[in-house]
């Protein structure tokens, strides 16, 4: 029988003690001492966000289904428990076994967004594990990092022992085997890391060294250990195979960020938006098998009691068997009063027909992402969406009974002018006009509601815009005010709502997204000053970050505000994602010319992703 790591007194004193108890419905109960490889998965944010993460659920399933391993979980403690753990010197613990994190062989940390980096240090610190990889001993777990941010691991390279580059289903069984043998043979920490380096897709930061030019850019980035590869190749799962999937997902005690079942219908995207990192790093687009999805949907809903299922992907409209999947799901879910959610739909007739099927009774709001107000800028970013298509989609939506539309835009994109910015409120007003032109007065249920939201553009690694300069916080706010003034001047302003993202958070995200190893000192200093939960606007301590930057010699001028030279070596260039740097440079040049590139189904542009099996690259060849 396990013993809780926290006393009843402590549990009763903290907010939401259920975050730290484990034992949720569908949790695995594996004896810690019975398995040769013991792993703990960490989502470095609060429990309610971490339990909603599909990647966590997949890895949790994969490790626990392996007969040689057990996997527990840990999340960032909230501020109240953080304080108690430090004061009472209680080591951070895994929720299921209630064992200290430092007792495990592996600590697997997913990196879904850059603003979680100080929370990574919080996890290590509270676990009483040295923050820097070079300071760890044979008694410490091996710290793995993975997820979208691992495609530029350099800003946090000093804090991790290993980075897993790619999708978890491919190599973790090999990792388990290496750790099992290393323990049995009594290998040292260094020998174990060298054995891990021999696995494709694993990057050991300590085995590489960066050399810098006088201007601060990278001169070379070289392996310094014979086991280290010159290039680390992304691992992409073959979706045609039977892969691990959480058919019995965890049901959290606390209402999660996504209180629903998540059905991943495909990976990757055919669209080629030039700002989108996920659209590049997850290429090629690969569909999941229809029969697999039908069975997985039934299994998840029956195992959880969820009242909603979400069809997840980067562009759900592009799943080639979406109609057939809905032919199964709609009657199944209607009978059980289960809602179906489909994010990431395009604004076209097919998508609206899909939405009509799943929102037949209750017409909730429709969400579309034009990303830019003007056609000129939509061509620059390769959005592949015309104003005529947007307005016609709105017309069909309003005819179908909707009167609420959410529109997502980005400010500060490359080559953007004030005219492009001013086009955002004009487009929102045009959509409102379509409503009043389309829906007869006697059939309207009040005014339409057009909600425009703008985020601020962050150039991301592994995209055609990785060369772009990022705009300053002051410029972001100026442009947001321009949009707001434009909204207030429109004829249908009472039907328009406007929101914009936090500028300081965006500026720091830009620094962390394209930083090199020197930025790691800034992250460490910011943490030492008290920065955690930076992804939460209300907890971001921007001034402390600025102090940390000044103390470590890191500037926005160098990392954010300058346009990169075409031949500059990037900190992430040693990672091979299939999509070549040459292709992305070609796309960057086309963006400057305002030229578009067709999507992958219309025409293959030779991006390089065809080196991976299956998917859109081979639809007409299999």
Q: Tens of pLDDT along 283-319? A: 999 999 999 999 999 999 999 999 999 998 998 889 9
- Residue 46 confidence class, pLDDT cut points 50, 70, 90: very high
Q: Do 315 and 269 form a contact (C-beta atoms < 8 A)?
A: yes
Cis bond before residue 609 (omega within 30° of 0)? no
Please tell me which residue, 151 or 615, carries the higher pLDDT value.
151
Cα distance between residue 613 and residue 161, in whole Å: 29
Mean pLDDT for the chain overall: 94
Question: In b/e form, how buried is each residue of 178-193, taking b as 16+ CB within 10 angstroms?
Answer: bbbebeeeebebeebb
Smallest Cα–Cα separation from 452: which of 492, 396, 398, 419?
Answer: 492
- Calculate what percentage of the chain has a pLDDT beyond 90: 87
Return d(Cα 364, Cα 102) in angstroms, integer: 47
How do residues 357-384 score in pLDDT, each as one tens digit? 776 545 567 888 999 999 999 999 999 9
Query: Contact 403/448 with Cβ under 8 angstroms?
Result: yes
Tell me which residue of 49, 175, 218 sits closest to 119, measured CA to CA: 49
The percent of residues in the chain predicted with pLDDT above 70, rounded, is 98
From 364-373, 404-413, 436-445, 593-602, the region with the lowest mean pLDDT: 364-373
Distance from chain centroid for Cα 537 = 18
582-600 average pLDDT score:
97
Closest CA to 405 of 451, 455, 361: 451
Burial 46-70 (b: 16+ CB within 10 A, else e): bbbbbbbbbbbbbbbbbbbebeebb
Q: 244 phi and psi, to 5 degrees?
A: -60, 140
Per-residue pLDDT reduced to its tens digit, 229-278:
999 999 999 998 889 999 999 999 887 667 899 999 999 999 999 999 99
Q: Say what the pLDDT of residue 360 is.
A: 58
Whether pLDDT at 50 is above 90: yes
Mean pLDDT of 334-347: 84
Structure tokens at 2: 């396990």
CB atoms within 10 A of CB 292: 16
Q: Is the pLDDT of residue 22 over 90?
A: yes
In this prediction, residue 542 carries a pLDDT of 97
When comparing pLDDT for 39 and 361, which is higher?
39
> What pLDDT digit, counting tens, does each position of 481-515 carry?
999 999 999 999 999 999 999 899 999 999 999 99
pTM above 0.85, yes or no: yes
Give the pLDDT band of residue 354 (cuts 50, 70, 90).
Answer: confident
Contact 304, 52 (CB under 8 A): no
């Amino acid at each position: 029988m396990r013993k809780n790591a926290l006393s009843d007194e402590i549990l009763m004193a903290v907010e939401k003690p259920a975050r730290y108890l484990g034992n949720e419905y569908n949790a695995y109960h594996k004896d810690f001492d019975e398995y040769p490889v013991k792993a703990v998965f960490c989502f470095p944010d609060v429990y309610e966000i971490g339990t909603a993460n599909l990647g966590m659920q997949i890895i949790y399933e994969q490790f626990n289904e392996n007969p040689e391993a057990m996997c527990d979980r840990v999340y960032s403690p909230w501020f109240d428990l953080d304080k108690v753990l430090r004061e009472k010197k209680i080591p951070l613990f895994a929720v299921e076994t209630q064992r200290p994190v430092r007792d495990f062989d592996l600590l697997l940390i997913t990196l879904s967004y850059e603003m979680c980096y100080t929370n990574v240090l919080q996890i290590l610190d509270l676990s009483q594990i040295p923050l820097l990889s070079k300071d760890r001993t044979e008694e410490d777990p091996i710290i793995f990092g993975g997820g979208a941010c691992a495609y530029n691991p350099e800003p946090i390279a000093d804090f991790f022992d290993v980075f897993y580059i790619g999708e978890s289903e491919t190599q973790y069984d090999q990792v388990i085997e290496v750790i099992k043998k290393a323990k049995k043979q009594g290998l040292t920490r260094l020998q174990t890391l060298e054995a891990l380096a021999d696995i494709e897709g694993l990057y050991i930061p300590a085995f590489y060294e960066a050399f810098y030019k006088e201007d601060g850019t990278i001169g070379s980035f070289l392996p310094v250990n014979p086991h280290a590869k010159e290039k680390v190749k992304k691992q992409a799962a073959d979706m045609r195979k039977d892969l691990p999937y959480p058919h019995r997902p965890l049901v959290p005690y606390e209402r999660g960020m996504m209180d629903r079942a998540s059905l991943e219908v495909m990976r990757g995207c055919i669209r080629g938006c030039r700002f989108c990192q996920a659209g590049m790093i997850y290429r090629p687009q690969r569909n999941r098998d229809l029969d697999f999805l039908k069975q997985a949907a039934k299994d998840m809903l029956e195992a959880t009691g969820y009242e909603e299922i979400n069809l997840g992907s980067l562009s759900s409209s592009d799943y080639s068997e979406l109609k057939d999947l809905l032919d199964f799901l709609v009657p199944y879910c209607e009978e059980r009063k289960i809602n179906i959610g489909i994010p990431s739909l395009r604004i076209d007739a097919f998508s609206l027909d899909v939405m009509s099927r799943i929102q037949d009774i209750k017409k909730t709001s429709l969400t579309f992402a034009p990303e830019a107000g003007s056609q000129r800028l939509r061509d620059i970013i390769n959005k592949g969406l015309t104003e005529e298509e947007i307005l016609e989609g709105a017309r069909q939506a309003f005819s179908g009974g909707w009167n609420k539309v959410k529109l997502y835009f980005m400010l500060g994109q490359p080559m953007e002018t004030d005219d492009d910015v001013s086009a955002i409120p004009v487009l929102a007003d045009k959509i409102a006009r379509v409503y009043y032109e389309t829906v007869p007065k006697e059939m309207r249920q009040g005014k339409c509601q057009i909600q425009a939201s703008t985020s601020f553009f962050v150039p991301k690694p592994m995209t055609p815009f990785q060369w772009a300069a990022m705009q300053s916080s002051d410029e972001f706010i100026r442009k947001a005010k321009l949009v707001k003034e434009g909204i207030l001047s429109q004829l249908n302003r009472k039907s328009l709502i406007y929101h914009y993202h936090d500028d300081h958070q965006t500026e720091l995200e830009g620094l962390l997204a394209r930083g090199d190893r020197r930025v790691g000192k800034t992250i460490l200093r910011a943490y030492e000053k008290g920065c955690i939960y930076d992804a939460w606007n209300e907890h971001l301590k921007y001034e402390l970050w600025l102090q940390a930057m000044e103390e470590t010699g890191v500037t926005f001028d160098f990392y954010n505000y300058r346009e990169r030279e075409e031949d500059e070596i990037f900190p992430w260039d040693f990672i091979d994602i299939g999509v070549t740097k040459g292709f992305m440079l070609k796309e960057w040049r086309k963006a400057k010319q305002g030229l578009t590139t067709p999507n992958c189904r219309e025409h293959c542009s030779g991006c390089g992703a065809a080196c991976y099996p299956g998917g859109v690259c081979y639809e007409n060849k299999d």
